[in-house]
Amino acid sequence: MNTGRIRVHLRERDTKKGISLYLDFYPGIRDPKTNKIKRRESLGIYLYKKPKNEREKEFNKEARAHAEAIRDKYSLALFCEDSDIYDKSKLKADFLSYFYSVAKEKGDKWTSVYFYFDRFMNSKCSFGEIDENLCERFRDYLTNTYQLKNNNTKLSINSAAAYYRLFRSLLKRAYKEKWLKTNLNDFIDGIKEKSTHREYLTLEELRKLAETPCKHSILRNAAIFAALTGLRRSDILSIKWKHIQPSAFEEGGYDIRKNILKVNKDETLPLNPEALDFCGDRKGDEDLIFKGLKKAWMDKPFKAWVKSTGINRNITFHSLRHTNATLLLASGVQLSVIRDMLTHSKIQTTEIYAKTNSIDKRNASKIISLKREEKVS
């Protein structure tokens, strides 16, 4: 923790036990145990109010000297920290303000991480405080804290891992922009995710869903479009007609040419011809394809619609993306192609679908058979 120029004074206070000695910090420093800014710290040293003899006088003298030595030790430590800097103005700058500006630029998940960090730091943090120890304590905090919207439910380990991954990305950005003098990611570890089952629809279930009426027809169209393209929810909500363009490689075909929000990268993705059937009539280039679609409909209303088809598993809107990947894999499409279609930055992310592909597992389970083939005479 870097504290800048902090003055440390030895103070005394009259108490029932005697004259209590304590340190006074100006400005305050952050307590590593409570994470709150503190101005005072008791030394647990008490002097006799009115020494009655030489022994008590000598005790007061030695106790005060000991307290002054502690004060000097604090001052030296803070001075050494303050000297080990290359730009004091940057270290005093508001890290939370920087974090918030990046979060607003990046989207909802980043904003959630910001609020967790803000709560962890009690709404006050400078760049000078960002060090390896603080980052490790924030990692431990995420693995033990409760959800922002539900104080009775613990944050899942996978959510904690995802949030801490974004926090590390923020540290990397701050280092590149020279707000931090050290690339802290070289010294801190991430949070290991727990392997989970990814729900998806079978091809027959997807067909059934497409044939089932929905209370919000625009939600039905967007959902089937998502399953046929594998686009994330954020891209479904933001896709415009200008993003659907004739293909340069296939006569009569179309491509999606769009900045994919999560990876912030312009991509050209071949469009499933049937996906166009769920877009409606083409409008102006700047018009949203699924105009009127509400983000809130993608949660409970979506699940209610899925349940109305008789599918009782926990299928979320994001499961449609899993559906796209799993069905492509089951049809023999190579992982590298699926990776490009889903705009994964790492092939390891796509490989997860190879583990969840129960269709391949089911076929593999039938390869070994003890039954002898009957000979044809």
CATH, residue 344 = 1.10.443.10
pLDDT score recorded for residue 361 = 47
Of 211, 210, 214, 245, which is closest to residue 227 (Cα–Cα)? 210
Is residue 182 in a domain?
yes
pLDDT tens digits for range 225-239: 999 999 999 999 999
Query: Two tokens at 249?
Result: 């490689």
CB 51 within 8 A of CB 57: yes
> Do 209 and 351 fall within a single domain?
yes
Question: What residues pair up with 258 in beta bridges, in sequence order?
Answer: 267
Between 185-189, 295-299, 338-342, 345-349, the lowest mean confidence (pLDDT) is in: 345-349
In whole angstroms, give the CA distance from residue 367 to residue 10: 80
Q: Are residues 219 and 347 in the same domain?
A: yes
Do 222 and 334 sit in the same domain of this protein?
yes
Residue 198 inside a domain? The answer is no
Domain count, the chain: 3
Q: Does 97 map to a domain?
A: yes
* pLDDT winner (highest mean) among 100-109, 110-119, 260-269, 341-350: 110-119
Residue 196 lies in a domain: no
Determine the average pLDDT of the residues in 178-194: 90
Of 130, 144, 71, nearest in space to 96 by CA: 130
pLDDT for residue 26: 84
pLDDT over 70 (residue 3): no
Q: Tokens in use for 322? A: 């899993």
Backbone φ and ψ of 11, nearest 5°: -120, 165
155 contact partners, CB below 8 Å, separation of at least 6: 116, 142, 143, 145, 146, 147, 163
What's the whole-number mean pLDDT along residues 246-264?
A: 88
Closest CA to 20 of 43, 42, 40, 46: 46
Pair 65, 105 in one domain = no
Determine how many CB atoms are found less than 10 A away from the CB of residue 275.
Answer: 19
Whether the per-residue pLDDT at 82 is higher than 80: the answer is no
Residue 195 lies in a domain: no
Q: Are residues 350 and 237 in the same domain?
A: yes
Asked whether residue 173 falls in the same domain as residue 102, the answer is: yes
Q: Which pairing describes strands 37-47 and 18-30: parallel, antiparallel, or unpaired?
A: antiparallel
* Interatomic CA distance for residues 357 and 363, integer angstroms: 10
267: amino acid identity, one letter: E
Instruction: Read off the pLDDT of residues 258-299 as tens digits, 9 standing for 90 and up.
Output: 998 877 889 999 999 999 999 999 999 999 999 999 999 999
* pLDDT confidence bin for 329, thresholds 50/70/90: confident
Q: Name the domain boundary from 84, 113, 133.
A: 84
- Say yes or no: 296 and 177 in one domain: no
Q: What is the pLDDT of residues 19-28, one digit of tens each?
A: 999 999 888 8
**Phi, psi at 19, each rounded to 5°:** -85, 110
Same domain, 100 and 52: no
* Placement of tokens 């004091």 in the chain: 88
Q: Which domain holds residue 170?
A: 90-186
Q: For residue 369, is it within any domain?
A: no
Q: Quickly state the pLDDT bin for 35 (edges 50, 70, 90).
A: confident
What residue has token string 């000991």?
Answer: 66
Phi, psi of 195 (to 5 degrees): -65, 130
Does pLDDT of 1 surpass 60? no
In a shared domain, residues 117 and 165: yes
Boundary of a domain, candidates 43, 67, 84: 84
| Both structure tokens of 52 | 């009655």
For 117-175, the pLDDT digits (tens) are 999 999 999 999 999 999 999 999 999 999 998 888 999 999 999 999 999 999 999 99
pLDDT value for 369? 47
pTM: 0.57
Which pLDDT belongs to residue 223? 97
> Does the pLDDT at position 246 exceed 80?
yes
In this structure, the answer to whether residues 297 and 259 fall within a common structural domain is yes
Is residue 287 domain-resident? yes
Last residue in a domain, options 186, 218, 246: 186
* Residue 333, amino acid: V
